[in-house]
Amino acid sequence: MAEEAESRLELAAVSKHFGGLHAVEDVNLRLHAGSRHGILGPNGAGKTTLFNLITGVLPITSGRISLFGQDVTHWPTHKRTAMGMARTFQITSLFPRLTVLDNVLLAVQGLRPMKLVMWRPLASYKDVYEKAEKLLADVNFWHLRNQQVRNLSHGEQRQLEVVLGLASDPKVLLLDEPSAGLATGESREMADFLNSLDKDLSILIIEHD
């Protein structure tokens, strides 16, 4: 019972069928505090579909999904996110002509109930600014805060996407191929970057190889 109570994310016999196509079949997984797990597979193996099931983007065909001991199998995405789960995507979602800090400010503000007033300077949102500043400092990105994203290396851009995923203070972070398109050296830097994150953070990564 104690082991089950400590699970942050648990999949029990999760399957997804599209007609006769079995995209995901009988997946069992348990993620605890501080766990770092990876799922490897070629394109078309169902990795992204699995993430879509975990986050509620797609309904499962059978099985059960639990977050922090709560059955969330039929919950919508926003309710799962509110419990402490975040996800990054394989496709870049950054604003290249904005600075690193502005990208993080937008990510933090997007989680707040108060809507953003476009004519008002982002820096005038004191609490949002303070959180963005702390987040960048915590992940050693503060020195890049005034750089336009388009001027970052590809590896730094991929790391910044992970930073945006941390804006909601998740306890469980799902990373969809964070090393996609990176050279060998950049992949090592990404691995070091992920290892430097909060040791209590639970991370599930899917990668092509």
Over residues 153-186, the pLDDT tens digits come to 999 999 999 999 999 999 999 999 999 888 999 9
Cβ pair 4, 21 in contact under 8 A: no
Domains of the chain: 7-207 (3.40.50.300)
Report CA-CA distances (Å) from 39 to 11, 14, 51, 112, 203.
14, 15, 11, 32, 11
Residue with the bigger pLDDT between 90 and 129: it is 129
Query: The tokens 């990373």 sit on which residue?
Result: 175
Total length of the chain: 209
Contact partners, residue 159, CB within 8 Å, separation at least 6: 139, 141, 189, 190, 193
Give the mean model confidence (pLDDT) for residues 104-120. 70
121-160 pLDDT, tens digit per residue, is 655 568 888 999 999 999 999 999 999 999 999 999 999 9
